[in-house]
Amino acid sequence: MSGFATGAIWREQLNSLRSSGGYKDAVELEGPQGPHVRMNGRDVLNLSSNNYLGLANDPRVVEAAKQGLSVYGAGTASVRFICGTMSCHRELETKIAEFIGCEAALTYMSCWDANIGLIPTLANTTDDAIFSDSLNHASIIDAIRLSKASRHIFQHQDMDDLESKLRSATCKGVRLIVTDGVFSMEGDIARLVRLRDLADAYGALLIIDESHATGVLGERGRGTAEHFGVLGEGTVQTSTLGKTLGGACGGYVAGTRVICDYLLQKSRPHLFSNALPPSVCCGAIAAIDILMEEPDRLAQLRSNTGYFREKMGALGFHIPPSITPIVPVIVGETALAINMQKALLHDRGAFVSGFGYPVVPEGAARLRCQISSAHSREDLDAAVSAFRSIGEKFGVIA
Ligand SMILES: Cc1ncc(COP(=O)(O)O)c(C=O)c1O
């Protein structure tokens, strides 16, 4: 048998991942997502989830999902345009558009799908050009790879570099500028106002992936545009229902009606893949309702984030400045991040994810903390105390 048939070639690569410390073991949760989770029969403080507003296990979200199952059954058994559009899809899309303050929205099975379904559909000829931040999410990178447009990767958040690439690109067709709203490894916020100006100046369409900004940034949680006071000014956004908005799965594109209509006709994940399960649609509708009706959650998230950032900074940890609940604690070497992650969990019952090269640049390995409105002050104090003892043990802080 060949090495392909026996799997030897991939086993070897797995072994090399193990020996380099890059092998990822999935932790298993024995119950729902929350500020605390059950792992190996133990209660663990959870600092590694995108459940920013604590809605993943909210009884109203769970009940709405159950109702969705009772009313519509398990699933669509069809792609969207054949016989797979249910009233709950339309209701969810109307709700998303109302929440974001735009004309229309279109749902996908995930934000990964939304990016894959949007970017190469809008720009797919060799006359087109796509400009993308170097730290954009993997789904944007893969979406761009699916397109025949020319690719122009600008340095992270470097608007001069973007402008010089916009200026020098020869492009007769569509121009897209694509950015994350909040960058998932850094926790920093895209320079939306400048990006919008450049998009206008060079006749480009700006696409912003709001997966870590929806329900997090802006007065009412409407994301990066609301944060900068430029809501409704002609960007297209993608986002996920799998983080703040209920935590199940699903994503969407939100913007103008013409783009959503065009995607319904042309976007391959719509044409060739089933629509969101109704339970997920109904759970997400409930999550958006809660977000719109309970602004206190957002205030709590901000207060928790500010508290944690301040306490950790005061201990001497290296944390890039931002206001988002993604709080990367930079420690340097990958092995150090992994060893600290293990010690935080085993010695202190705090679960934080460590990331090293190649997910982040060499020498910038980190423990990425994610804060939720559902964390209590005691949780945050316990997290800071765990970091203090493990940080001292490993010589990361004095
Ligand atoms: C910026 C960004 N975009 C897209 C995604 C993918 O979202 P989903 O899980 O809905 O596919 C993620 C998830 O990690 C993300 O952080």
pLDDT score of 22 more than 80: no
Closest to 207 (Cα-Cα) out of 144, 261, 160 = 144
Among 28, 49, 48, 44, smallest CA distance to 349 is for 44
Look up residue 229 and give its amino acid: G
pLDDT exceeds 80 at position 282: yes
In this predicted structure, what is the pLDDT of residue 234? 81
- How is the beta sheet containing 350-351 ordered, strand by strand? 36-39, 42-46, 350-351
pLDDT of res. 2: 85
113-151 pLDDT per residue, tens: 999 999 999 999 999 999 999 999 999 999 999 999 999
State how far the Cα of 244 lies from the Cα of 230, in Å rounded to an integer.
22
String of DSSP letters for 109-121: SSHHHHHHHHHHH
Query: 186 or 22: which carries more pLDDT confidence?
Result: 186
Residue linked to tokens 């099975």:
109
Query: Cβ–Cβ contacts within 10 Å for residue 153, how many?
Result: 17
What is the dotted CATH code of the domain comprising 59-293? 3.40.640.10
Instruction: Tell me which residues have their CB closer than 6 angstroms to ligand 1.
Output: 110-112, 137, 139, 180, 184, 209, 211-212, 240, 242, 251
Residues marked active site are found at: 184, 212, 243
Q: At 160, list the tokens.
A: 């001069």
Percent of the chain, pLDDT > 70?
A: 100
- Own/partner pairs, 148-151, CB within 8 angstroms, 24+ separation: 148/124, 149/120, 149/123, 149/124, 149/125, 149/173, 149/174, 149/176, 150/126
- Residues near 184 by beta carbon (within 8 Å), at least 6 away in sequence: 137, 211, 212, 326
Q: Domain extents for the chain?
A: 24-53+295-393, 59-293
Residue range 24-53+295-393 forms a domain whose CATH class is: alpha beta
Do 24-53+295-393 and 59-293 agree at the fold level?
Answer: no
pTM of the complete model? 0.97
Determine the distance separating the centroid of ligand 1 and the alpha carbon of 276, expressed in angstroms. Answer: 16
Distances (CA, A) of 30 to 42, 217, 347, 370, 382: 9, 31, 20, 20, 22
Q: Which atom belonging to ligand 1 lies closest to the Cα atom of 181?
A: 1
pLDDT at 3: 81
SS3 159: helix
C-alpha 242 to ligand 1 mean position (Å)? 8
